[in-house]
Amino acid sequence: MQRVKLDRIDRRILRDLQDDGRMTNVELSQRAGISAPPCLRRVRALEESGFIKGYHAEINGTLLDYKEMFFALVGLDSQAQNVLQEFETIMEAWPEVRECHMIRGGGDFLLKVVARDKDQRDALTMGITEAPHVSTVTTFETIRTAKGIPGVPVDEDGPEPTEE
């Protein structure tokens, strides 16, 4: 993977693409204050170096009948690497599990889960509870979301990135 040293222009490109991944290269280059060809080269370098991992559309789940969202704090009966990986593999296969984070303090994993209705929410909760090595599951039902910004803050004058 090619290493890129970020400057103000690269950071501006990252911020603008994170805000609107469908922005044309021409508009992106105008915002960054450079012409279109070098802007496209910079975007490709940012993709190749792993700063840009992909592009996606933000979907309104409610319009697709996903009316429930909850978080599940999961504790396992073992923290052996094979047990942790087995749980991650199981959760990876469930499309309703949108995020699966291994955490420190108070549990082993935090899941973000969507469901069409309360019955599916309850079935998913039971499925998580019945997964191998699961000892505890605490769920937190979402009432509303006041803020939901994907990605990370990108400061044009931020510190130099570190290696992964």
Q: Quick check: pTM over 0.75?
A: yes
- Which residues does the chain have with pLDDT short of 70? 1-4, 158-164
Which residue in 14, 8, 4, 7 sits closest to 152, CA to CA? Answer: 14
The pLDDT assigned to 156 comes to 78
Residues 71 and 121 in one domain: yes
C-alpha distances in angstroms, 74 versus 105, 106, 107?
Answer: 11, 9, 6
67 and 104 fall within a common domain? yes
List Cβ neighbours of 65 (8 Å cut-off, separation of 6 or more).
Answer: 116
Backbone angles phi and psi of 19, in degrees to 5: -75, -35
pLDDT at position 4 is 66
User: pLDDT tens for residues 19-44?
Assistant: 999 999 999 999 999 999 999 999 99
Cα–Cα dist 137/140, whole Å? 10
| Token reading at 134 | 């699961």
Q: Is residue 115 part of a domain?
A: yes
Residue 27 belongs to what domain range? 8-48
